[in-house]
Amino acid sequence: MDTSTRLPGHGLLSEGKPHEQGGTSGRYERIFTAPFEKSGHGACSCGEASPVLESDSARRKWHRAHKDEIRAAAGAEPAP
Ligand SMILES: [Zn+2]
């Protein structure tokens, strides 16, 4: 696993399972749908969310890029 790329305060919720934005709270919540339904937002524990993506792997990829952006903003090198 890519534990070396963990970033405090930025955890990918449900390991990249699809989420949708809740109606009243505005928070991203896990979608529990049929197993073949893969599209949804990826959600980070910091509150950021991806566009609607079609797979868990696409959402994990989004989260890696998201963490790289956070690191870049902090002046650190992106993960290799
Ligand atoms: Zn984040």
Cα(12) to centroid(ligand 1), Å: 8
Q: How far apart are CA 70 and CA 47, in angstroms?
A: 13
pTM: 0.79
In a domain, 32, yes or no: yes
Model pLDDT for residues 16-72, shown as the tens digit of each residue: 999 999 877 788 989 876 666 789 999 999 999 999 999 999 999 999 999 999 999
State the total domains in the chain. Answer: 1
In a domain, 4, yes or no: no
Q: Supply the pLDDT for residue 1.
A: 41
In a domain, 48, yes or no: yes
What tokens does 17 get? 């399972």
Q: How far apart are CA 4 and CA 8, in angstroms?
A: 11
Q: Supply the pLDDT for residue 2.
A: 47
Cα(46) to centroid(ligand 1), Å: 4
In a domain, 2, yes or no: no
Tell me if 19 sits within 8 A of 43, measured CB to CB: yes
In a domain, 58, yes or no: yes
In a domain, 6, yes or no: no
The range of the structural domain enclosing residue 66 comes to: 13-74
Tell me if 35 sits within 8 A of 75, measured CB to CB: no
Cα(67) to centroid(ligand 1), Å: 6
